[in-house]
Amino acid sequence: AVEGWHLARTGRSAAAAPALSMALAAIAVAAALSALFAVRRDRAALESVAEELRASEKQAAGITSISVDAIITVDEGQRILLFNHGAETTFGWSAGDVIGQPLSLLLPERYHAAHARHIERFGTGPEVARRMGQRQEIAGRRKDGTEFPAEASISRLDLPGRRLFTVVLRDVTERHRQLSDEHFLAEAGVSLSESLDYESTLVSAVHLAIPHLADCCVLDLVGEDGTIRRIPSVHDDPDRTKRLRELEARGEAPSNWPFPVATVIASRSPVTQQYSAAADPARPALAASLAQLGMERLTSLPLVARGRMVGVLTLICTDAARLFDAERLRVAESVSKLIALAIDNAGLYRTAQHATVARDEVLGAVSHDLRNPLAAITMCARVLTEDASVANRDELLGAIIESAAMMNRMIQDLLDVATIESGHFRVDPSPQRLDDLLERVLEMTRSAAAERLVDVRGDVAASLPDVLVDSTRMIQVLANLIENAVKFTESGGRVSVSAARRADRVEVAVSDNGVGIPADHLPHIFDRHWHSRRSGRTAGTGLGLAIARGIVEAHGGRLRVDSTEGRGSTFSFT
């Protein structure tokens, strides 16, 4: 180019001038080098941009891979292009299985058409993104076919010649379960507070966990004597309900068959185990029936209120697919605390009701029983006031003293039974000869027995050892039992008092051939004022047997009764 320019200006070739030729060569080399350096700068810039792009892609891929949410990218044909690790965990598919597959693979079939229309509208609409919370919940379908609730955000990316949609999806199953558990516990509290009736509370308690935590339940109540009362629930299947009803029991000792009740009572900790169909040799028919119940798994929970073991609630799963994980156990323990408190409160309410009834009975008994001696005192005092020199003055004074003594005994009975029931009753034992005590009591009661023409006899074995008793209180027990026997024995009847050695103890028995006690009355014979519910009310507070039992138990013994209506009764204690 330079050569052509020189020839045009001078008419001579540049080659003819050596200096000029060298200059032209230098210019050409400089231009070539400049062009080379420019190419290298452009290439370095391109490589830098490419490196930054690769770094950006790696960063995006890293963020996508560590996200616990499912991130899925699809094209306009809703074919899956990106399926991150969170999506693999959520849906159970591997990325290799679903890349290139339609998005409908991840949706319940009933939503396929509606979802396709939704994507089409979103692709042509003005919005390029919708966040979680701006859309209603959707449902996903896992590889195993199970469905789950989810919420999702979606974005649209328009590129030259194509359009991409990216979804960030979150499984909200756990959130739904937590809300469901909170609702269940709230409803459980309401249900248990609807009634303080004891039996109604028990029925509500045994059905409360169905179906949220179990398919059926069994409630084992611990009685004051340590025995178990077992109450089963119903089941959706009537035949299984019949099997459950066979579990009803009362008065049994705690055991680990068919449920680990004894272990839970001892440890006060829940026990979860697969059901074992091991037979009970003592109850083969019940074991066979339980095998047909179809129990898969059970969880027995302690019911503890105010530090006291109320009972054990056993949650039974007959559906093998029912989930019972650590979270389910936490909810079960929460509801078991509510049930324990409800049963305890209902028990306290029942006790308060019984105390109210007892108070009314005491007031009725006192008002009735004190009226007679009080009337006698009033009448005698009035006669003496009107005529101090009346002929039978000493007899009237004696009646006043006797009536006052009777009132004093009634008041003392009330004080005794109150002390016994409060747990503050005490005895002062010392070695005593039992035959001497019996002789004193027979002497005290012989006059009343003679008035009724009842023969009272003693039969004390020879060489009885001394007994460690509170003599005053033991005389009170014996007098009460003998007077009671005389009271309910017809004229011409017989009352016998015997004492004999039984191993390291002495057994005393008071027997009569009187009217006896009906079988349905026997469980209540030591209740306060029980005689007020028997035919032919007799004088007294009706507290004698309750006090006698309290005194015997304070000595470490036990008062028992054996009676046949129409043939007589025997009260014995050691």
Name the percent of the chain lying above pLDDT 90.
51
Average pLDDT, the chain: 86
**pLDDT bucket at 28, cuts 50 / 70 / 90:** low
Query: Helices (DSSP H) in 522-563: which residue ranges?
Result: 544-554
Domain count for the chain, please give it: 4
Q: Which residues of 312-328 are buried (b: 16+ CB within 10 A; e: fewer)?
A: bbbbbbbeeeeebeeeb
Residue 218 has pLDDT above 70, yes or no: yes
Determine which of 129-133, 234-238, 546-550 has the lowest per-residue pLDDT on average: 129-133
49 located within any domain: no
Give the Cα separation of 293 and 245 in Å (integer): 11
Determine which of 60-64, 450-454, 483-487 has the lowest per-residue pLDDT on average: 60-64
Same domain, 546 and 532: yes
Same domain, 205 and 342: yes
CA-based end-to-end distance of the chain: 141
3-state secondary structure 116-180: HHHHHHHHHCCCCEECCCCCCCEEEECCCCCEEEEEEEEEEEEECCEEEEEEEEEECHHHHHHHH
Same domain, 186 and 308: yes
Same domain, 216 and 343: yes
Residue 412 burial by Cβ neighbours in a 10 Å radius (0-12, 13-18, 19+): middle
Q: What pLDDT score was predicted for residue 460? A: 85
Q: Are 119 and 100 in contact (CB under 8 A)?
A: no
Parent domain of 434: 426-573
207 located within any domain: yes
Q: How many Å is the Cα radius of gyration of the chain? A: 48
Give the Cα separation of 244 and 241 in Å (integer): 5
Mind listing the pLDDT tens digit for each residue in 522-537? 888 888 766 534 444 4
240 located within any domain: yes
Q: What pLDDT score was predicted for residue 533? A: 42
Position with higher pLDDT, 409 vs 303: 303
Give the Cα separation of 293 and 316 in Å (integer): 10
CB atoms closer than 10 angstroms to residue 307:
6
Same domain, 85 and 131: yes
Domain boundary among 299, 326, 352: 352
Structure tokens at 551: 């005194």
Same domain, 86 and 202: no
Same domain, 76 and 122: yes
288 located within any domain: yes
36 located within any domain: no
Same domain, 279 and 333: yes
Nearest alpha carbon to residue 460 among 480, 485, 478, 484: 478
Domain boundary among 145, 172, 199: 172
Determine which of 67-76, 197-206, 364-373 has the lowest per-residue pLDDT on average: 364-373
47 located within any domain: no
Structure tokens at 458: 């003693």
**pLDDT bucket at 30, cuts 50 / 70 / 90:** low
Same domain, 444 and 503: yes
29 located within any domain: no
Query: Residue 326 is part of a domain; what is its CATH number?
Result: 3.30.450.40
Domain boundary among 172, 198, 225: 172
Same domain, 446 and 415: no
16 located within any domain: no
Give the Cα separation of 460 and 440 in Å (integer): 13
Residue 124 has pLDDT above 50, yes or no: yes
Q: What pLDDT score was predicted for residue 171? A: 95
Structure tokens at 573: 């204690």
